Structures are given as structure tokens and as C-alpha cells.
Amino acid sequence: MKTDMVDLVNLINDMFIEFTRKQVFSKETADFLGFAQQKFKLNAKNDWNEIIASEDILEDSNEALKSFLKFGLSGPTKYNDLGEKYLRLYGVLNAVYQQQQAILHIFKLFKCPNPKVVKQEFNDLSITQARHKLGAHSINYISQSNEETEMFVPVRVQFEDYKLTYFNHKNNESNEIDLKLTLEEHSKLICKTYLSIANKVIKTVYKGNTVKQEQVLSSFNELEIVMNGAWLVKGQDGNTIINIKFE
């Protein structure tokens, strides 16, 4: 079956967690935080705890995104409840933001290159813009073009499960976004960023050992192929992963 980007986030997160935990706990030591700091060339001992917390936030927020993609703004309910739709709208927008902050924090802690460029990529997403305008700064959004204050509200009469229209009271303009499409863009960028983190960390751990680097990276490279459009197939044993690329 074709793997959704939101599911791929979990696959990459699980694989990265398994790799990093094995590195830290493969050697019994009283000072495992110090060992983790040395292993991954972190700036401080507590960076490891912050990495773990960020990985948890990635996983938790992903559950929120999966629920939204399954049930939309209406949610798993038989009632046409306007309050439920607002809760799910504000919830999904902030789940996106929490996920972005978590991956950017991991990116920074592992000292990956060009963090400002990656942050800007996330800022440019339409779902991020919707979060800032509706989920955080509805009445005091500062325009990036002229630095004037703008006000945004969702148009409730046009609520659909996966379509969002919001209105700018400053200039009477409205914007419409496809929530499914922009969430896929967001999740794909999360995957891309996470894979670049894995690449950096693996090369740090196995510095000078290109054979080991390529061996460990092969599993992550398979998931990169999936990210770029391959199909993910599991064998009858439930463990074998086969990637088939259709042109």
C-alpha cells in the first residue's frame, strides 16, 4: 500500500529512536547522559533528555494529525457540532506547530547545518501561515510585508472537513486552503528534515567508517524512497520491507 506522509513520520521516528537508544544504552555506565553527550557530540548532557522529549512530542502530535486526516473537522461523531469543529481546527493547527518546533529542536541539538533555511521552509507552508493567523495571533497578526496588524477569522459557514476558508478583516480578503494537501506538505517536510538529521547523526557516530555508515543508512534511504513516491510493501513475515518505485 502507498504510505501516507503522516505514517512515514512515525516510521522514521521509530527507526531513529531505535538507533539512538541502542547507541546510548549499549554500554552500561552510571553517567549515561555524559555518554550520550560524547556519543552524539552534543553541547550539554541534558540535550539527550530534550531530544527524547521532542521525539515524544513528534509522536503525540502525529496521532492528532492522523485523527484529523481520518475524520476531518467534524470528528468521529454523529453530531454536526460547531464547537467540535473549532476544537479540531485549533487543535490540528497547533499540533502542526508543536511538531515543527520538536523537529527543529532535534535539528538544532544535533548541530545539523543551515537551521535558518529549514525553519524558513516550515514558515513558508500554508498550514503554518494558517496556524499563525488563526491558531495564535488572530487579532494581532503582524504582516510580513508591511508590518501592520491584521485580524483573521475562519469562515464558519464554509466549514468543510478538509477545506478551510479564513477572512482578513483588515483588507476584506479571504484565503482558502486544502487541509489534506497542506498537511501532506507539512508531513513530507518533517520526513525530509528527520532524514537529514539521521544522516548527520549516523555519520557523526561512525565518523571515518564509511562502510558502517552506508550499512546503517540503507534503512533510512529506503524510507526516503518511500517519501519520494515509492510504495511500501511488507512481506508475509510482517517485518520485511520492500520498496517498489513506479515511474
pLDDT band at residue 247 using 50, 70 and 90 as cut-offs: very low
Closest CA to 155 of 139, 169, 144: 169
What pLDDT score was predicted for residue 235? Answer: 60
Extended beta strands in 17-80, E state: none
Closest CA to 108 of 20, 225, 197: 197
pTM over 0.85: yes
DSSP 8-state assignment for residue 160: -
Per-residue pLDDT tens digits for 90-138 = 999 999 999 999 999 999 999 999 999 999 999 999 999 999 999 999 9
Is residue 244 pLDDT above 90, yes or no? no
Count Cα atoms within 13 angstroms, Cβ side, for 18: 9
Q: What is the mean pLDDT of the chain?
A: 91
d(CA 130, CA 176): 10
Grid-cell match 524558513, residue found: 120
d(CA 210, CA 167): 53
pLDDT over 90 percentage in the chain: 75
pLDDT over 70 percentage in the chain: 92
Count Cα atoms within 13 angstroms, Cβ side, for 236: 0
Strand partners, 242: 233
DSSP 69-85: HHHTTT-S-SS--HHHH
Per-residue pLDDT tens digits for 68-90 = 999 999 999 878 899 999 999 99
What pLDDT score was predicted for residue 240? Answer: 52
What pLDDT score was predicted for residue 105? Answer: 98
